[in-house]
Amino acid sequence: MSAKKDRKPSPDANTRELYGRLLKYVWPHKAAFFVSIIGLALFASAQPVLAHLMGMVDDTLSNPTDAKVYTVIFFLMGTFFYRGIGTFLGKYFIAIVGRNVVHSLRVDLFNKMSRLPSSYYDSESSGRLISRVTFDVDQVTGASTRALTTVVQEGLTVIFLMGYLIYLDATLTLVFLVLVPFIVAVVAMASRFFRRYSRRVQNSVGNVTQVTNDSIKGYRDVRAFGAIDYEQSRFEKASAYNKKQALKFDFTSAVSVPLTQQIVSIGLGVMVFIMFQRVVSGSMGSADFFQFITAASLIAKPLRSLSDVNAVIQRGMAAAESIFNVMDAKEENDNGTKELGRVAGHVEFRDVSLVYGNSDVPSVDRVSVDIQPGTSVALVGKSGSGKTSLVSMLPRFYDVTSGEIRFDGENINELTLENLRSQIALVSQQVTLFDGTVKENIAYGALRHCSDEEIRAAAKAAHADEFIDQLAHGYDTQLGDNGVLLSGGQRQRIAIARAILKNAPVLVLDEATSALDTGSERYIQAAMEEVMKGRTTFVIAHRLSTIESVDRILVMDSGRVVEDGTHDELLARQGVYYQLHQMQFSAEASGDAG
């Protein structure tokens, strides 16, 4: 490959591209943006007036008449009033733009994340994803509000003051302009370091968030396994790395700003020396001297601010780069155009294979199964045999690598994702409950318009009503973070009630009874037998005693279906299922005996 093809975009080109994308978020608020620009221009144009006032003060001191004194006072008060209006218009309206940009960016980012495929979440830590929505977007706020305000306001101030200096004495002004390339070089060099360390800081914040999230969610396991010291060490290490990178960023800022100021001071020193020589020779009056030195001195502050804001801009650009990387990620493949009414539940796997990511070993290997409507099918096998992978392709959490899956004769890839998933109810082993009421968790998402009677009926069918009625506020009880106030069995029954309420023709129960005690399991088994009637049901079960009454059992091993039949048929064959059954029966008998 040629060097030309390997060449990466320059940091400046990358910054321009990122700012260009951010400006697309500014455009809908262009009216407020232009008002802010006018305000900032008013503020900047007042600066040369203040410098000019110094000449008027010197002239008044030499001949202090009432008229001259009143004129100076009038111009002084008027200038500050004029500048105050500009400050208000500039800062408030740019804040309106900035807050709207951040809001739109945050919403678009969240919406994008909700459309990313499962494979994306498999390769990203939740802490890093959360920090993008919180920390990274806040960094963009700095670049789109405070930094933009500083760049426009102080940039225009420099332009107006330079124009005024050229008007006063072009030769002296050239002395200052000679220093501009040196200032630009310092800023450019600092920008590269700012961007590099900003990326590292963002990643380290994601690590800190991840460790914190893990420790808080798993606080019981942390304590039960004596891992408090270990988790504290993990957090200290992640925080120390964050501190190290942040200090590198601050060091670069602490060096670049005074270095820029020193360059400016050299220019001011040379100009002051030349001006004193002119005053001594009589070619420059005291009023001209005060006007020029004041204007030149006023340039120092905006130049310092422009140099200082470079750190904020580069931090914001690194954050924007991180955000747009997510925005540019490939979404779930939703190219289907067909929409079916309620399907009968005829499911066909035709030579289906699934290979995750860059793995060479298929998790599902050329499976062909024809399942008639209303059939209950159990998937059994050792851990990693492909059971969950097989059912994960039904709602297209993962797309088949080869082969096809059909619902009522239609390839599921030709259906819209919304239509396909409306046909399937899912109860996972890892129950997800949301921070809301019991009622909101049962009637979740597309079910939120269900009536109270329907919600109660679903809860009763799942044998959840008995404990819900005992909660402090019944169905209006707040469950907290992931239903932390409920037992494992209670959380599972809420999830089962949700699936029952959906009333989908295809039901997937992924270890749905794994978290239930024996008493709860007996109730749920009865409820499941009722809810499975008339539905095509896939049951992934580890405890074989729970699936003896299903219509069909598929035994999986290394991604393939190695046995297919009823409970009695498979026991009679004395194959893989028989061995699994005997092992589990023996283990349970030993446990009972113990």
Domain CATH for 94 = 1.20.1560.10
Residue 528 pLDDT exceeds 50 = yes
Are residues 242 and 386 part of one domain? no
Q: Is residue 292 situated within a structural domain?
A: yes
Instruction: Enter the tokens of residue 245.
Output: 């990178």
Residue pLDDT, tens place only, 79-90: 788 888 888 888
Average pLDDT of span 340-359 = 90
Residue 594 pLDDT exceeds 80 = no
Rounded to an integer, what distance in angstroms lies between the CA atom of residue 451 and that of residue 334? 31
pLDDT recorded at residue 291: 74
Residue 370 pLDDT exceeds 90 = yes
Most confident of 4-18, 237-251, 283-297, 451-465: 451-465
Average pLDDT of span 539-546 = 81
Q: How many domains does the chain have?
A: 2
pLDDT recorded at residue 523: 64
Most confident of 117-121, 210-214, 248-252, 271-275: 117-121
Are residues 374 and 314 part of one domain? no
Q: Is residue 105 situated within a structural domain?
A: yes
Compute CA 381 distance to the chain's CA centroid, rounded to the nearest angstrom: 37
pLDDT recorded at residue 519: 60
pLDDT recorded at residue 516: 56
Percent of the chain topping pLDDT 90: 15
Report the mean per-residue pLDDT for the chain: 79
pLDDT recorded at residue 3: 39
Enumerate long-range contacts of 7-14, CB under 8 Å, 24 or more apart: 11/191, 11/192, 11/195, 12/188, 14/317, 14/321
Average pLDDT of span 124-145 = 76
Residue pLDDT, tens place only, 163-208: 887 887 777 777 666 766 666 666 666 666 666 666 677 677 767 7
Are residues 138 and 31 part of one domain? yes
Residue 554 pLDDT exceeds 90 = yes
Average pLDDT of span 394-419 = 92
Are residues 283 and 141 part of one domain? yes
Residue 138 pLDDT exceeds 80 = no
Q: Is residue 578 situated within a structural domain?
A: no
The CA-CA-CA angle for residues 358, 361, 367, to 5°, reads 120
> Which strand ranges, in their side-by-side order, compose the sheet holding 347-354?
364-371, 347-354, 402-407, 410-411
pLDDT recorded at residue 403: 94
Q: Which residues pair with 427 in a beta bridge?
A: 509
Residue pLDDT, tens place only, 416-469: 998 999 999 888 877 778 778 889 888 888 888 889 999 999 888 888 888 888
Residue 273 near residue 172, CB atoms below 8 Å: no
Percent of the chain topping pLDDT 70: 80
pLDDT recorded at residue 201: 72
The candidate with the shortest Cα–Cα distance to 426, out of 122, 118, 186, 28, is: 118
Are residues 304 and 166 part of one domain? yes
Residue pLDDT, tens place only, 208-244: 777 776 666 665 556 655 667 777 787 788 888 878 8
| Owning domain of residue 553 | 347-565
Q: Is residue 540 situated within a structural domain?
A: yes
Higher pLDDT, 317 or 35: 35
Q: Is residue 369 situated within a structural domain?
A: yes
Are residues 288 and 410 part of one domain? no
Residue pLDDT, tens place only, 37-59: 898 888 888 878 777 777 676 66
Q: Is residue 463 situated within a structural domain?
A: yes
Q: Is residue 593 situated within a structural domain?
A: no
